[in-house]
Amino acid sequence: MPATVEISEPLVREHIVRAVVDVFKTMLEQPVTLGEADGGWPPTPPPEPALATPQVVGTVGFLGEMNGLIYLYFDVGFAQTCTGVMLGMSEDEATEDVVNDAIGELTNMIVGSFKNGLCDAGFPCKLTLPSILRGTNFCVEPVSTARRYLYAFNTSGRRIVADILMTTEQ
């Protein structure tokens, strides 16, 4: 199916907001709102709280007519809380491995939902396997051909950051 629309910042924003809101509502029963919109080009660095404390970052890519990667930043405490809610576990039971897997799956669902929107807009692509980054004060540098979109979301006083890198080049 040929592309029916251009990939623009409003389109990216629409799809990522819908994906994050839907996944949090369905899997965690938590409302999420878009915070400081930081989409567009050139991007600014991820908001400060995303890096100052230990982070669990889920990453899933998509390959096809549109290629890209989405990084979702959770602080460690919030990642544990999300895991506990999603799996019906106490935070003590949510060990590092369990949290990694849960955040990987949450990211997979969010990126899946995001890229399904792109597929239906004429950019067929497939998901890659999730991976997890953990650490403090690190940054992701995109290659110069990639477009970068950053969005911060608020939920129950906590923040999640979606860092989207996209390119149409093969």
Partner 1 sequence: MRNKILTVDDSKTVRIIVRKSFKAFDCEILEAANGVEGLAVAAKELPDLILLDVTMPVMDGVEMLTRLKADPHLKGIPVMMLTAEGGRENVLKIAKIGIRDYIIKPFKEEVLVEKVGRIIDMKPLSEAPVKARSILDPADILVVEDKPAIVQQIQEGLKHTTWRVHGVSTQGEAIDFCARQIPDLVIVSLSLPEEAAFTLFRTLRTGAKLKYTPVFGLVVKTDTAVLEAAQQMGISAIITKPIDLGELESKMAKAMNLDMSKRYFDIQGDFLIMQLPENSSPAVLAEAGNYLKLKLAEAVDSGINKAIVDLHQVKTLHMGLIKLLMHTMQTCRELAVHFALVGNTNIATECKGFEDTRAWVFYDTLDVAKSSVGKVAPVQQLVAV
The answer to the question of residue 35 lying near partner 1 (CB under 8 A) is no
Question: Rule CB under 8 A: is residue 139 a binding residue for partner 1?
Answer: no
Helices (H), 6-135: 9-23, 49-52, 76-87, 96-120
Q: Does 7 bind partner 1 (CB under 8 A)?
A: no
CA distance 145 to 166: 9
Q: Which of 1, 5, 37, 52 binds partner 1 (CB under 8 A)?
A: 1
Does 47 participate in binding partner 1 (rule CB under 8 A)?
no
Contact between residue 145 and residue 167 where contact means Cβ atoms under 8 Å apart: yes
- Binding to partner 1 (CB under 8 A): which residues in 49-88? 83, 86-88
In the region spanning residues 102 to 131, those forming contacts with partner 1, defined by CB under 8 A, are 102, 104-105, 108-109, 111-113, 115-116, 118-120, 124-130
Which residues fall within 8 angstroms of residue 165, CB to CB, at 6 or more apart? 68, 69, 70, 71, 140, 142, 146, 147, 148
**According to CB under 8 A, which one of 7, 76, 85, 101 is a site residue for partner 1?**
101
The C-alpha atoms of residue 133 and residue 55 are separated, in whole angstroms, by: 8
Strand, helix or coil for residue 53:
coil
Residues that bind partner 1 (CB under 8 A): 1, 22-23, 26-27, 83, 86-88, 98, 101-102, 104-105, 108-109, 111-113, 115-116, 118-120, 124-130
